[in-house]
Amino acid sequence: MPSPTRTLKDKVVVIGGASRNLGGLIAREVGQDGAKVVVHYNSPSSKEAAEKTAAEVEKAGGQAVVHEADLTKVAEVEGLFDVAEAAFDRVDCMVNTAGMVIKKPMTEVTEEEYDRMFAVNSKAAYFMMREAAKRLQDGGKIVTVVTSLLAAYTGLYSVYAGSKAPVEHFTRALSKELFGRNISVNNIAPGPMDTGFFYPAETDDSIAYHKSSAMNGELTKIEDIVPYVKFLLTDGWWLNGQTLFINGGYTTR
């Protein structure tokens, strides 16, 4: 049995992108462990899903509040943490799953697409981490979801993987800066996940290729990722400054 300080019971967990898919499942799972969850969603179109996630957290035995924020705006990132502190008086953990993907040749990427991808995948990640560093209790945990494509030699994802790549350095830098506070900072890099986030950018042939690149011929399932997130939030506290490639061998490094 882990010690009480390494459980999620009564821990306040801010989850970026928690209305559905991986973020929603993380919220429900930590709720089962008695966590107090701030369910973030990005836009009005996700409000209903976020409220459903929050209801499921509470049904599972946790507590939850829901908050809309555009994480590419620093003031709204700050507001998300304000809500967490107002609701639960503290913040213990931050998990950011928010992201955006496009797949196209570099010669076809527009300036607007480049700016948007870096705003969502890099800037938002940076300021979520920055604000977490300011707000978390000593002994807290910071986890950001990146992508296994960081270890891939491939075309067509230049602006997606490229906008995720800086997060590795953000993680190394922040984890070092937080020495003395016992706050661990890590990334999880899933393989292509079997969610609605993945399919719009792909073709039947590319989906088959992605499946064939993992050890069992399947895409990564969100259920395969959540145990590693929970591990980093509890007994995995000694891991720090790392990127974990959880992908069935899709890429290695």
Question: Kind of pairing, strands 93-96 and 63-68?
Answer: unpaired
Measured torsion, CA atoms of residues 147, 148, 153, 157, in degrees rounded to the nearest 10: -30
Catalytic residue (choose from 160, 209, 228, 250): 160
Identify whether 209 is a catalytic site residue. Answer: no
CA angle 203, 252, 156 (to 5 degrees): 30
Instruction: Count other Cβ atoms within 10 Å, centred on residue 235.
Output: 13
DSSP string, the chain: ---GGGS-TT-EEEEET-SSHHHHHHHHHHHHTT-EEEEEESSGGGHHHHHHHHHHHHHHT-EEEEEE--TTSHHHHHHHHHHHHHHHS---EEEE---------GGG--HHHHHHHHIIIIIHHHHHHHHHHHHPPTT-EEEEE--GGGG---SS-HHHHHHHHHHHHHHHHHHHHTTTTT-EEEEEEE-SBSSTTTGGG--HHHHHHHHHTSTTSSPBPHHHHHHHHHHHHTTTTT--S-EEEESTTSS--
Active site positions, annotated: 160
